[in-house]
Amino acid sequence: MVDNVKDINHAQFADDTLLLGGVGTSSARHFKKELETYKQVSGSKINSQKSKIFGWNCSVRDLGEIARFLGMEGVHAWDSFTYLGVPIFKGVPKADQWSPILEKFKARIHNWGANWLNLAGKTVLLKSVLLSIPIYQTSILLAPTSVIGKMDGLVRKFLWEGGKGNLNRLHLISWDKSQKPFKEGGLQIRNLAKQNLAMGAKILWNLVSGRESWSKKVLRKKHFHGQRLRCIDHTPQLKKGSPIYKLCLKVIDHFRANLYWIPGNGKKINLWEDSIMGEQPLGQIFEIENIKKLASGQKH
């Protein structure tokens, strides 16, 4: 049974508001009415110069009419824009839309210089600062392999070459070795690709656990099926999906394989298919195949 979720027409956070509507002056008229009401009630003003209208699947003429009616700039040709610092894509996400993240990496490294830092100091900086830069965006979007490679390359150069004047320094150990735990002889540097997938696993965990929320209902209705606790039992096979769906899809098989149930009263557990307390599902144990057949009424 799918949770009922009303159509999404707006998103708000602090003073950033995203309004969603159909093409036409009718929708524009309703938006203008609500905005005027908000201004009267709150005493706030709307900065038309910082507000824009993005249109897709609509003509230039229709967008122009809506823009004139609302007194805001209309943008017809666009690939993405940012809301709360995250790119909102019109089509398929592209690697160059991650350029701001890479530029932040380069700016940090350039500002530090790093000539005066020893290996321990650089390790602390890259762990606490550099590797934290992409967390926000990678918690929602699946980073392209090429982008992960470029970020890893910048971190490696900072660690071993140190920036200015040290370009000829040798990398003392392999990057894979650097990412291993201390007890295995590594520097315990986070793997950015695995960090990205861990963020996807966190989304999936929130879908099936914790307090219910509107955003969870939206994700389940659009991309997953079945009741909340069972919505990830089967990998969804959608040809198209949002960027957040693609991140979840990348990690869902691994996440599901490592998920297990704590019995409780046992009413919600599928005895044969579910992993209980981390053990192998009973249905996958060859020795008790005949017991399963008996339980289902089959002859052997």
Residue, of 145 and 20, whose pLDDT is higher: 145
- pLDDT of 9 > 80? The answer is no
Q: Is the pTM of this model over 0.95?
A: no
**pLDDT the model gives residue 162:** 65
Question: For residues 86 and 256, what is the distance between their CA atoms, to the nearest angstrom?
Answer: 27
Mean pLDDT of 93-118: 84
Nearest to 105 by CA among 150, 54, 52, 169: 150
Name the CA radius of gyration of the chain, rounded.
Answer: 25
Residue, of 46 and 103, whose pLDDT is higher: 103
pLDDT in tens, 263-295: 877 777 777 777 777 777 777 777 676 776 776
**pLDDT the model gives residue 217:** 85
Question: Could you give the percent of the chain with pLDDT greater than 70?
Answer: 89
Both structure tokens of 29: 């008229």
**pLDDT the model gives residue 202:** 94
Q: How confident is the model at residue 151 (pLDDT cuts 50, 70, 90)?
A: very high
- pLDDT of 76 > 50? The answer is yes
Question: For residues 60 and 192, what is the distance between their CA atoms, to the nearest angstrom?
Answer: 41
Question: For residues 74 and 199, what is the distance between their CA atoms, to the nearest angstrom?
Answer: 34
Question: For residues 198 and 139, what is the distance between their CA atoms, to the nearest angstrom?
Answer: 8
**pLDDT the model gives residue 117:** 78
**Is-contact 186 177, C-beta < 8 A?**
yes
Mean pLDDT of 160-171: 65
Domain extents in the chain = 10-78, 96-190, 196-257, 261-300
Question: For residues 175 and 149, what is the distance between their CA atoms, to the nearest angstrom?
Answer: 12
Taking phi over 0 as left and psi of -120 to 50 as alpha, with beta for the rest, 65 belongs to alpha
For 273, half-sphere exposure in the C-beta direction (CA atoms, 13 angstrom radius) is 7
Both structure tokens of 90: 């019109």
Question: Of 31-40, 126-135, 190-199, which range is least confident?
Answer: 31-40
Nearest to 149 by CA among 125, 169, 175, 128: 175
**pLDDT the model gives residue 130:** 92
Both structure tokens of 125: 């900086």
Q: What is the DSSP string of 222-284?
A: HH--SSGGGTTSS----SS--HHHHHHHHHHHHHHHT--B--TT-TT--TTTS-BTTPPPGGG
Q: How many residues does the chain have?
A: 300
**Is-contact 223 248, C-beta < 8 A?**
yes
Both structure tokens of 293: 């057949």
Sign of CA dihedral 84, 90, 93, 98: negative
**Is-contact 259 270, C-beta < 8 A?**
no
